[in-house]
Amino acid sequence: MNLPPVRIIPQTVPLAETLFSQEQIRHRIGELAIQIEEDLEGSPPIFLAVLKGSVMFLADLVRAMKGQVDIDFLSISSYAAAGERTGVVRIVKDVEILIEGRDVIVIEDIVDTGLTLAFLLRTLQTRNPKTLRVCTLIDKPVRRIVEPPIDYVGFVTDSYVVGYGLDFKGRYRNLPYMVGVDDVAALAADPDALKPLLHGADED
């Protein structure tokens, strides 16, 4: 008996769903830029981006600003024990611009436990900026351990967010929108499972 050939049905991506679309991100960043500009008092601020996840956000945010903005970067390494952050943080690439007397806005992709940001604010405060504020793309309050002050928030969510700078094991930073991962354990077992999203032009 001749059996019909087995058809392989391409797997859709069941592990994640769109959380914030490109249009929502663009719109929210426009609102944040207006809000930040209203709060500035003349002199150009320094947008200090924490590598690596915040680079997409920084790039779009500064382009939404009307006035002059200086940008700089710092990179930190967080010590984790049993997969959990400990709050032990080390600067591995420091700011190059002198921040003393300047209006500084720390640009983060996500505030999760809050430990990294708390460390950064303590460290930067010792350098006597005129003002020190924080702008984060994502605020994820559900896992908060400490509550550093956050001045500007793009989106609030409890989801595990990937895309638009936020990675999963180094992947998906270049996804132009953000997805919420429904099954993190399944993605950990197959970190490439969301790869089809990178090939699809439409997020919805």
**For ligand PRP, how many residues bind (rule: CB under 6 A)?**
17
Token pair, residue 119, equals 């460390």
Written in H, E and C, the secondary structure of 134-199 is EEEEEECHHHCCCCCCCCEEEEECCCEEEECCECECCECCCCCCEEEECCHHHHHHCCCCCHHHHH
Mask: binding to ligand PRP, 54-83, rule CB under 6 A, as x and -? Answer: ------------------------x-----
Yes or no: say if 105 and 45 are a contact pair by the CB < 8 Å rule. yes
Name which of 57 and 177 has its Cβ closer to ligand PRP.
57
Residue whose C-alpha is closest to residue 109's, from 50, 21, 157: 50
Yes or no: say if 105 and 133 are a contact pair by the CB < 8 Å rule. yes
Mask: binding to ligand PRP, 124-163, rule CB under 6 A, as x and -? Answer: ----------------------------------------
Q: Smallest gap, in angstroms, from Cβ of residue 142 to ligand PRP?
A: 11
The yes or no reply on residue 112 touching ligand PRP (CB under 6 A) is yes
Residue whose C-alpha is closest to residue 47's, from 152, 139, 140, 141: 152
Strand partners, 48: 72, 106
The yes or no reply on residue 109 touching ligand PRP (CB under 6 A) is yes
Q: Smallest gap, in angstroms, from Cβ of residue 115 to ligand PRP?
A: 4
| Measured distance CA(63)–CA(69) in Å, rounded | 9
Reduce the DSSP state of residue 24 to 3 states and report it.
Answer: helix
Q: Which stretch binds ligand PRP (CB under 6 A): 14-22, 47-55, 59-67, 122-130?
A: 47-55
Among residues 61, 102, 104, 116, the one that binds ligand PRP under rule CB under 6 A:
116
Among residues 46, 58, 65, 115, the one that binds ligand PRP under rule CB under 6 A:
115
Among residues 65, 69, 74, 110, the one that binds ligand PRP under rule CB under 6 A:
110
The yes or no reply on residue 203 touching ligand PRP (CB under 6 A) is no
112 part of the active site: yes
Residues that bind ligand PRP (CB under 6 A): 50-53, 78, 85, 108-117, 167
| Residues labelled catalytic | 112
